[in-house]
Amino acid sequence: MRQEFCVSGQTLWQWRTAARQQAITANISAEEVDWLLQDLAGLDRLSLRLETFKDRAEILLCLPLSELTTLWEHRIQDRVPVQYLTGVAPWREFLLNVSPAVLIPRPETECLIDLAIAAATPPPDSPLPTSLLTHGHWADLGTGSGAIAIGLATAFPAAMVHAVDYSAAALAIAQSNAQKLNLADRIRFYEGSWLQPLAHLKGKLSGMVANPPYIPSQMVPDLQPEVARHEPHLALDGGMDGFDCLRHLVAAAPDYLQPGGVWLVETMTGQAIAVAALLQQQGSYHQIQIYPDLAGIDRFVLAYRH
């Protein structure tokens, strides 16, 4: 049973005011204090925003205030991302478990699911009926927290999703998320490298979706400290020019996708055009398209297997 610790609204208000000030001084968004309080003190956004919680005689925390202070010190001093402190991250309509074994799923990656849904309505000249795409086998390569696999399994209720990661620790988190969201029977998990564990699905995949590591190796240490010091480098480092995994996925996927199957990836700013060129050169793809993220940056590349 979850333990509870009682504080007065006034005490928590003072704690929040001090924590917000520390955030501003450390150049961290003061909003993050409220994310922590929403998760660990069960306060809602409105009562935090209007500060109505201040008048409550009792607020129940799921940890002592001293531990909350220690957590916040980790955020400020060690630059630990707040999602690793709370152990959860919101993504699409889900609240996903996260740990330092997995990349914190990013808002821009949410668009991959909308693109996959749109792509499952095939172009007029596709040999594949829509139902084959929405009912077939989809792969999430480099699943991390399982975000994309969970998004696909929810978007395509009649499909089977195959989620692969090289990291056993990441797969354990992804599995915990699938269980929490009652999707465990719709997602199969595989430990291994990219498509290699899916040999039994050669020529059968309706779609392949990936947000692979794409940051050039020498840029990784210079990323903001929350990322460089705390997120797994296996999830970030895309090799010398950042294209190692993208090149592999372009080359390997045609053996696994069925005719008309969807190839869809996220890329870093400035990479999309080169990925589209790689797909063109490979010769097995058509209808190659680049899509922007919500900030208007070209980020996603989609193609269909001939």
Ligand X SMILES: C[S@@+](CC[C@H](N)C(=O)[O-])C[C@H]1O[C@@H](n2cnc3c(N)ncnc32)[C@H](O)[C@@H]1O
Residues making contact with ligand X (CB under 6 A)? 102-103, 105, 109, 142-145, 147-148, 164-167, 170, 193-194, 211-213, 234-235
The answer to whether 144 is a known ligand-binding residue is yes
Shortest separation between residue 114's beta carbon and ligand X, angstroms = 14
> Is 225 assigned to a binding site?
no
Distances from the Cα of 79 to the Cα of 219, 231, 233, 267, angstroms = 18, 11, 16, 25
Report the alpha-carbon distance of residue 33 to residue 37 in Å, rounded: 6
Q: Which of 207, 36, 31, 246 is nearest to 126 (CA)?
A: 207
Question: CB 89 → ligand X: shortest distance, Å?
Answer: 9
Q: Is 142 annotated among the ligand-binding residues?
A: yes
Nearer to ligand X, 128 or 159 (CB): 159
Is 55 annotated as belonging to a binding site? Answer: no
Residue (142 or 207) nearer to ligand X, CB: 142
Our CB check for ligand X shows the closer of 19 and 150 to be 150
In angstroms, give the least distance from the CB of 286 to ligand X: 26
- The token pair that represents 266 in the structure block: 């996220």
CB atoms within 10 A of CB 28: 17
Choice between 188 and 306, CB closer to ligand X:
188
Q: At its nearest, how many Å lie between ligand X and the CB of residue 92?
A: 11
Please check if 136 is assigned to a binding site: no
Would you say 143 is a known binding-site residue?
yes
Give the shortest CB-261-to-ligand X separation in angstroms: 19
Nearer to ligand X, 164 or 257 (CB): 164
Annotated binding site: 142-146, 165, 194, 211-214
